[in-house]
Amino acid sequence: MILEFIGADHEVTGSCHYLSVNGKNILVDYGMEQGSNPFENSPLPVLPSEIDFVLITHAHIDHTGSLPLLYKNGFRGRIITTCATKALCNIMLKDSAHIQQSEAEWKNRKAMRAGKEQVEPIYTMEDAMGAVELIEGVDYLEKIKLSDGITARFIDVGHLLGSASIEFWLEENGIKKKIVFSGDIGNLNKPLIRNPEYVDDGDYAVMESTYGDRLHPANVDHTEELRKVLQDTFDRGGNVVIPAFAVGRTQELLFFMRKIKQDNLITGHPDFEVWVDSPLAVEATGVFRSNLMDCFDRETQELVRKGINPISFSGLRTAVTAEESKSINFLKEPKVIISASGMADAGRIRHHLKHNLWRAESTVVFAGYQAEGTLGRILQDGAETVKLFGETIEVHARISTLQGISSHADRDGLIKWITSFKKQEPGKVFVVHGEDSVTESFSTLLKNEHGLNAEAPYSGSVFDLAAGKWMKQTEGVPVSKEKIRQRKENSVYVRLSGCGQRLLKLIENSEGCSNRDLSKFADQIDALCEKWSS
């Protein structure tokens, strides 16, 4: 009964944790690293082809974005999550694959001109579609028996449509333990989605700490905050550019925009347009609309009963094709442009920033967490120039941040989640998913002020859940250029190993086939061995 820490340990992105119980190998999330991550992540302790289950807390790419890579390297097990998360992953993983392929094509065009080596995308659309085919959707609070001694349940955690904490009931060699993975804990009183639900017991908790060192401003009126930015920017003749996560944050912004439009809160610009420039956001908004009565809060459901679509209004425009996206910046009238990615580190938003950062009349509004090393954080920190598509752009636009709009719980919200364990307080709390200093300060806070046995483990640390003790504790290994190079090389070898495991399974499953087919199969393997051994 082993828990191993893989990703988002003393870091914010790339969430991944590994459980080994009764011979079954389980991952909780398998996310992509985004921005600048200071430490090396340990490799998976088993080959991707040996993973039996992946349980997903929610659809954000830092929790799901490496699933196509897992598939590419041989994984063919079960991916289990909530029904809404399944629907969102269907579009998000395909979009991520499109970005990987597009960036590889762009780099290869530059490499060809410079006579340099070509690169391959991390994964392809085929890999993403393969991973999506493995995803199974389940309902909140439905107990799922994964195997003997392993049962799981998803609980609404109020961070994103379909987001969940995951409870595991484990039994091995007569020893029973319960471990809870918080997922990303939601902020209170957000539009559209429900408030977090809380878990009341568990032997262990693995919990996030993204905002474990700060409090969100109280009683912030985001509609009024946005109104002021829009009015001021439009009066100057500029555009309001908002980098926003296509899933969750875009729909929340549309909720506020509808309110501004409905109540005629902007003077002098009654017909201003709001452009959503992201095929992913357009598809995700469709998923949100189809779940309005099943997954949303009472306020939203009441609007729907009155015949009001809470995320649609006059003047809402969408851009799906590249041509439609490019045309937006040639429209003269002041407008709002909402585009992904939310941290401005990829996607169409970079084109809109290129066209607007140099304009003193425009405003760039950040509406979410900006990880270290992302373009979003660089702009928030006051950069005077940035490079986009090889061109140096001077920053004259106003840079603004919506306060308290985060979908993450703040310090008090995190404390509320962990102190809701009343029936059975966790014997140990593992603090993850936060910047290096934050994981340490928050675990210290839990120890000193709440009497909890809390620690912030590094990637590669291994804990024996049955015995309640560490088997291995690591220190953070700083990322180096050599390590990055080795990681790329090793990923290819991991893929080859995964193919080998799949071949062995094919051989095992071929018993009972005709001698003719088996002979042909053996000849093909012999030919392959001859080719690579010569």
Give the Cα separation of 229 and 234 in Å (integer): 8
User: Could you give the residue ranges of the DSSP H alpha helices within 115-242?
Assistant: 125-133, 222-236
State the Cα torsion 477-479-485-487 to the nearest 10°.
Answer: 50
Final residue before a domain boundary, out of 401, 428, 453: 401
Distance CA 503, CA 506 (A): 5
* Per-residue H/E/C for 196-233: CCCCCECCEEEEECCCCCCCCCCCCCHHHHHHHHHHHH
Residue indicated by tokens 């995803």: 135
Q: Are residues 527 and 437 in the same domain?
A: no
Query: How many residues comprise the chain?
Result: 534
CATH of the domain at 181: 3.60.15.10
> Which pLDDT belongs to residue 533?
57
DSSP 3-state assignment of 431? strand
Same domain, 208 and 236: no
Same domain, 199 and 126: yes
Residue 437 token pair: 């200093």
- Shared domain for 269 and 211, answered yes or no, is no
Q: Please tell me the total count of domains within the chain.
A: 3
Q: Coil, strand or helix: which one is 397? A: coil
Question: Which secondary-structure segment (H or E) carries 441?
Answer: helix 436-450
Mean pLDDT (10-residue bins), the chain, 534 residues:
96 96 98 83 95 97 96 97 94 87 81 82 94 97 97 96 96 97 92 90 97 88 93 97 87 92 94 90 81 68 74 90 91 93 85 96 90 88 91 95 86 96 91 95 96 96 97 88 48 53 69 79 76 59
Q: Check: CB of residue 209 under 8 Å from CB of residue 368.
A: no
Determine contact, residues 286/88, Cβ cutoff 8 Å: no
Same domain, 430 and 381: no
Looking at the structure, do residues 301 and 429 belong to the same domain, yes or no? no
Give the domain range for residue 326: 222-401
Residue 77, CB-side half-sphere exposure with 13 Å CA sphere = 22
Q: What is the DSSP string of 317-367?
A: EEE-SHHHHHHHTT--S-EEEEES-TTSSSSTHHHHHHHHTT-TT-EEEE-
Name the nearest CA neighbour of 99 among 352, 374, 346, 376: 346
CB 304 within 8 A of CB 192: no
Does residue 423 share a domain with residue 377? no
State the chain's maximal CA–CA distance in angstroms.
81
- As a whole number of angstroms, the distance between CA 471 and CA 455 comes to 15
| Distance between start and end Cα atoms, the chain | 44
Task: Pick the closest to residue 200 from 419, 410, 445 (CA basis).
Answer: 419
Distances (CA, A) of 53 to 21, 94, 491: 11, 21, 21
Q: Do 504 and 380 fall into the same domain?
A: no
> Can you read off the two tokens belonging to residue 102?
């597009």
So what's the pLDDT on residue 530?
65
Whole-prediction pTM? 0.80
Final residue belonging to a domain, choices 401, 423, 445: 401
**What is the arrangement of strands in the sheet containing 273-277, beginning at the earlier edge strand?**
316-319, 273-277, 335-339, 240-243, 363-366, 398-401
Both 395 and 411 in one domain: the answer is: no
CATH classification of the domain holding 275: 3.40.50.10890
Whether 247 and 332 map to the same domain: the answer is: yes
Write out the two tokens for 183: 């997922």
Q: Which of 160, 193, 167 is nearest to 420 (CA)?
A: 167
Distance CA 31, CA 15 (A): 5
Per-residue pLDDT, 526: 74
User: With contact defined as beta carbons under 8 Å apart, do 277 and 352 qualify?
Assistant: yes
Same domain, 200 and 261: no
> Same domain, yes or no, for 360 and 335?
yes
